[in-house]
Amino acid sequence: MLFNTIEFFIFLPTVFVLYWFVFPKNLKYQNLLVLVSSYVFYGWWDYRFLSLIFLSTVIDYFIALEMEKSDKERKRKQLLGASMVFNLGMLGFFKYYNFFVDSWVYAFQTAGFEMEHTWTLQIVLPVGISFYTFQTMSYTIDVYRKNLRPTKDFISFASFVSFFPQLVAGPIERATNLLPQILKKRTFSYEKGVQGLRLILWGLFKKVVIADSLAPLVNDIFENYGAYDGGTLLLGAIYFAFQIYCDFSGYSDIAIGVSKLFGFELMSNFKFPYFSRNIGEFWRRWHISLSTWFRDYLYIPLGGSRNGKWASLKNIFIIFIVSGFWHGANWTFMIWGLIHALLYIPSFIFNTNRKYLSYGVAENKVLPTLKEIFQMGTTFFCVTIAWVFFRSNSLGDALSYISKLFLDFMMPQSKLQGIGYVIILMTLEWGLRNDERLTVISKYVIVRLLFYMFIAFQVLRFFGVVQTDFIYFQF
């Protein structure tokens, strides 16, 4: 089920009414409703893949309980290993099997050998498999580390794994944050409900008005890049940068907003990343739930920054390349990750990667300084060029696109209509840049009213005109 469909706007109020008006005082029934609703939400796409979520849930539920019973470190490691092997094995089989088979065949053909009768999977990738496998793995890892005690309440744990607002495209929640909220009684908060509706509206604006309007322009430019000049190709890359941002952050905003309606607080997943002044700051603002997941469950266990510069550089490359591979079974994603590693390294070497922890761009100012404009422009340009690899179907397409962009550059004569959407978004986000939860739009009631009236009008105007799946569903 998609957030930007009529079906969802029938589903959501139905669940809301049952949750708060039929089962307002019974936590067990509320959690059961969340679980059933989550399975309906996911099964609306393809009910057959519900078995994968259920199997992952059952295995990690019992593995965590067995960990709690055992005092032997060796057995606990074996149990954790079993959880990791199952979840990563399931992810690898459905998402990467064909990639490895095709790469193996290509390597042999390059060496002069012909391979016949290779078996590939003729099935679609289960939506959101990369998200919910990482979510349930956070549970077993935290139980192993004794950061969290396992729950014996299977319904609550299953609700955590399949929580419908963020099930298929995040944020990737930690068990230490979301599970305790599921296990305790919740009461309706009018303030949270209003905040949730604001975020839902803002997320729909970014998805329906901006991302879906830019999608046809992006598709045409990338699919026919040979017919356009370099200036138009640059526009195509910029449009994709905003399409994927509005598409993905829009989903996260809706997920956080819907969760607030039911009394849950999810982590922030985006904090205006295109106002970043270097790559380090960009990755603290972009897909935060994934970048912090890799930091806590891979980078730090590998040694982090504790064993000297060279070991740290190795770990950085591993993190970024694995992050790229997480996004998809294509060499383009790994090159995208490698590019970000190369962009991040200078910042790490000169200790500027954590420079902007305490303050945002143009702090307490209306406009940025010339230095900040240059920093943001440079960072955005580098990120945008890297997005070409992310969007392209193959390495050959990406390299041809970029070479034509630079070697055949002329001021664009077509596809200019998307610039208006970019300007509108950046103007609005600049005013909101210190408040990604939209808690304080303005102290003036009339300003807030006009803002939400404008957003609502635009969503209604564009709703259903161009309807596309959320980009991150494929991951």
Q: Per-residue pLDDT for 385 more than 90?
A: yes
More confident residue, 75 or 45: 75
Provide the token pair at 9.
């706007």
Sequence-ordered alpha helix ranges (H) in 295-408? 309-327, 331-349, 370-391, 395-407
| Best CA proximity match to 258, nearest among 13, 447, 60 | 13
Contact (Cβ atoms closer than 8 angstroms) between residue 169 and residue 471: no
- Rounded percentage of the chain residues whose pLDDT exceeds 70: 94
| pTM for the full predicted model | 0.93
Contact (Cβ atoms closer than 8 angstroms) between residue 176 and residue 142: yes
Q: How far apart are CA 412 and CA 398, in angstroms?
A: 20
Provide the token pair at 374.
């240059």
The pLDDT score that the predictor gives to residue 292 is: 95
Provide the token pair at 396.
């050959």
Concatenating the DSSP letter of every residue in 255-288 gives HHHHHHHTT--PPP--S-GGG-SSHHHHHHHSSH
User: 450 Cβ partners below 8 Å, 6+ apart?
Assistant: none
Contact (Cβ atoms closer than 8 angstroms) between residue 372 and residue 277: yes
pLDDT in tens, 272-301: 999 999 999 999 999 999 999 999 999 999
Q: How confident is the model at residue 105 (pLDDT cuts 50, 70, 90)?
A: low
Mean pLDDT value of segment 235-239: 98
Active site residue 327: yes
Q: Per-residue pLDDT for 108 more than 60?
A: no
Q: How far apart are CA 130 and CA 326, in angstroms?
A: 7
The pLDDT score that the predictor gives to residue 103 is: 64
Contact (Cβ atoms closer than 8 angstroms) between residue 61 and residue 136: no
Q: Per-residue pLDDT for 117 more than 60?
A: no
Task: Tell how far CA 363 is from the center of its chain.
Answer: 27
Q: What is the mean pLDDT of the chain?
A: 91
Q: Per-residue pLDDT for 122 more than 80?
A: no
The pLDDT score that the predictor gives to residue 113 is: 64
Sequence-ordered alpha helix ranges (H) in 184-229? 190-204, 212-223
Contact (Cβ atoms closer than 8 angstroms) between residue 166 and residue 42: no
The three-state secondary structure class of 163 is coil
- State the sign of the Cα–Cα–Cα–Cα dihedral 299, 301, 305, 309: negative
Provide the token pair at 375.
């920093």
Q: How far apart are CA 354 and CA 339, in angstroms?
A: 19
What radius of gyration do the chain's Cα atoms show?
23
From the list 117, 287, 327, 340, the catalytic residue is 327
CA distances from 307 to 170, 311, 312, 314 (A): 32, 6, 7, 11
- State the sign of the Cα–Cα–Cα–Cα dihedral 130, 136, 140, 146: positive
